[in-house]
Structure 1
Amino acid sequence: MRTSSGSGTGAEITTTPDLRAIQRRTVRVLILGQVLGGIGIGSTLSIGAVLAANIAGSEALSGAAATLSTLGAAASAIPLARLAQRLGRRPALATGVVLSASGSLVTIGAAALSSFPLLLLGFALLGVGTAVNLQSRFAATDIASPEHRGRDLSLVVWFTTIGAVLGPNLFGPGEEIAEAFNMPPLTGSFVIAVGAQIAAAAVYLVGLRPDPYLLSRDAPSDAQGDAAPGRVRGRGALIFAIGSIAASHAVMVSVMAMTPVHLVNHGVTLTIVGLTISLHIAGMFALSPLFGWLSDRLGRVGTILIGQALFAVSLAVVAFGEEDPVLVTVGLILLGLGWSASTVSGSALVADLATGAARARIQGRTDLIMNLAGAVGGAAAGFVLAWVGYSGLAWAAGVLVLLIVAGATTMRTARPLPA
C-alpha cells in the first residue's frame, strides 16, 4: 500500500489495484467526453470550408476553416498542457471544450454579420476542441501500464467515431434549427455543437475524480515503465515520432479540408458531402483499437509504416478518381485509416519516451507541432487546389508520405527504436 501526498487527487491512499480501477474509470469518462466532443467537431468540420468560401467569396480562402481551426488547436496545446501540469487533466479538458463552445457562438455571429475576420476567430476557438480531443488520448496513458498503453489510448480515440460520424449527418436537423430561429444558412450545426461541448465539459468536471495526471506524479514504477520519472529518453526516436505525427496530420488535413469544396463544385449535395466526411472520420477512428493492438504487439514504427502505406493507396485513389464521388469517398476512408495508424502508434511512442512531469510538457509540444503542420497543410491546400486541382493536391501530399517512410528507414538503420 502506498500513501499519496498529492493534493487534489480526491484519494488519500492509493494502491496498485486502485490505480487499475481508476484507470478503467478514467478511460470510460474520457470515452464519453470524446463522444460528445466528436459531435461538436463533426457537426461543424465539413461545413466550415463551404461557409468560409461563401462569406469570403473565394474558393482559394476555403482552406481558412481548417487553417484557423488547426492554428487554434496549436495555440491552445501548450497552455492546456501547462494547465494540466499545474491543476490536472480535469480543469484543462473542461476549459478547452468551453472555449470551443464559444467558438461555435462566434461563428454563428460571423455568419449573421457576413464578417470573414470574425469567422476566422470562431474557427480558431473551435480548434481548441481539437486540442482537447488530442489531450484526451494522452490522458488515457497517464496511469496506464506500459503493455496496455497503446490499447487504452486507441480505445479513447475509437469512441470519437460515434460523435464524429454522427456530427456531419446533423446538417439536416441543424438547418431545421436555423430555419426555426431565423438564423443564417449553414449555422444550425453550430447550435448542436454548443450543446454537445457544454455537456462534455460537465462530464470532465464531474467524472475525472481523482485526476489521472495528478495521480501519475506518485504512481508506482510498474505503472510508469522503466524510464526515470520526469525524463525523456531516445531523443532521436522522439523527434521521429513527433515528425511522423505532424506530417501525417498535414497529409490528412490538406486533402480532407478541400474535399467538401471539390465535391460541391462538382454538383454533389451537402448531404452526400456530409456522408463522405462521416465515412472519412469513421476511417480515422473506427479501427484505432486494431492499430493500438498492432502498435503494442508489432511495434510503434512498423504500425506507422502501415499508416503510410494506407496513405499512399488513398492518395492514388483520389488522384485518379477525382471525378467520381464514390472513389473520392473510398479514398477519404483510406486517408482516415492511414491517419489513425500513424497517429495512434506515434502518440504511443511519445508516451513511451516521456514520463512524469516531462510527459505533459512533451505531449503539449507534440500537439502544438502536429496542429501547426495541419494549419500549414490546410492553408496551402486551398491555393494548391486552385492552382493544380484536386489530383495535384493529392500528389503534393504524397511527398510528405515519402519523407516519413525515409525517416523510419533511417532511424531503423541507425539504431533500434523502442517498441
Structure 2
Amino acid sequence: MDLWTAPLAPGPLDALVDVPGSKSLTNRYLVLAALADAPGRLRGALRSRDTLLMAGALTNLGTRIEEDGTDWLVTPGAVQGSATVQCGLAGTVMRFLPAVAALADGPVRFDGDDAALARPMGPVLTALRTLGVRVEEHGEPGHLPFTVHGRGAVLGGQVDVDASASSQFVSGLLLAAARFERGLTLRHTGRTLPSLPHIEMTVALLREAGVEVDDSRPAIWQVAPGPIAGRDVRVEPDLSNAAPFLCAALVAGGTVRVPGWPTSTTQPGGLLPGILERLGATTRLDGDVLSVTGNGTIHGLDLDLHAAGEIAPTIAALAVLADSPTRLRGIAHLRGHETDRLAALAAEITRLGGQAEQTSDGLVITPRPLSGGTWHTYEDHRMATAGALIGLRVPGVEVEDVATTAKTLPDFVGLWSGMLSGSAVLA
C-alpha cells in the first residue's frame, strides 16, 4: 500500500499557489470544440488524468487535438464509430460523451476503471433511448460498460431526465443538443437537483459558442439546433482544486494567496470565500489574487452545500478541526461520486478518532481529539486532499495512494510542499 505521510504545518503560512486550469471548464470546452463548425484553441487547459482521458476519447471519435506550447488546438471532424471510449473514473467523460457518440456513424463502446462501474449512468442511457438511440448494456443495467450504436444523426425532441444523482446527466445532453436535428427540450423530473452551478456553467459556455438556450423555466432547458462556433478561449483556474490550499490557512494560520481568481464565475468553487469567512477566515480579492488569512481557529457551522458538493470533503476536513460541531447538508448525491464520499469521510474521520455520522443528505461532524493513522482515499482525489489538510495539524496521518490526486491536480505533493515552504508555486 502506497502511503504518503502528510507533512505537519511548520508554522503560519505565507504562500502563493498558482492553481492549474479548471477540469470542469476544460472538459466542457473540449466537447464543444469537438462539435464546432471550425477549429478552436484552448489556452490554460488542465492536463490531468480526467482531461487527458477526454482528449483521448474525442481523438478516437474523430477530433484532432494538437499541442501548441501550453495550448490545445482542436480541429473537429465527423464523429466516427467503431471506437472505444476509456472513461477511467471521470464522470465528465462517461456522462458527456454518450450523446456525442450517438452522432457517430457506428458503434462506440464505453468502459472504465473498476470503481467507475459502480457510478450511475441510467438516466443518460434512458434519455438516449427515448431519443431513438440504441444502447446495448454489457453488465449491470444503468452502468458501464455499454455500447452506443450511432447512426450518424440524432433527431432530438423532448426528453425527461431524473438528474437527482448528478447534474452531469443534464450537462452531457445539453452539450451535444445543438447538433440534434430538432435540438432538445430537457426536463428534470427528480426531487432534487445537485450542483446547479455546473449546469449554469454548461449553459453559459453554450451561449458563448453561439448556441441558443432557453432556461427561463425552472428545471427545463431548451436548446435550439444550429452550429457551435469554434473559438479561442482561456480556461479559468480550478477554484475547487484551490480549496485545500486556501483552507490550509485556517488550519495552520497565516495567509495563502491564489492568483487568477475571477471576479465572476460559474464554478461552484466561487462560493468558497464566503464559506471560509463563516468558518473564521478573512478573505480579500486584490485584482485577481484571492488571499485567505486564518489564525488556526475554525468555527463549526450548519452549511448547505447542494450547489458546491465537490468542496464538501475539504470542508469536512476543516470541520474535524473546528471548535464546535458542523452539519453539512444537501450532498446526498456524493454517494454516487468517485466513491461514496459520505461513507468514506465518515469512516476515515472515525478511523483517526473523530466523530462523523451520516444523515440522509450529508454529515454531522463533532470534533474529537485525533491521532495519526492511515487515511484511505478509495481512488478519490478529494479524499486524498482532505487527508493532507487534516495532516497539517495531526501528526502521523498517512494518506493512501496520494497519486490519485493526478485525476484533476497534477503534482499535488509538489504544490503542497511548495506551499508549506512559503515559495511561489507554479503549476
- Fold agreement, TM-score > 0.5: no
Q: TM-score, normalised by structure 2?
A: 0.24
RCO higher in 1 or 2 (8 Å CA, sep ≥ 6)?
1
Q: TM-score, normalised by structure 1?
A: 0.24
* Greater share of residues in helix: 1
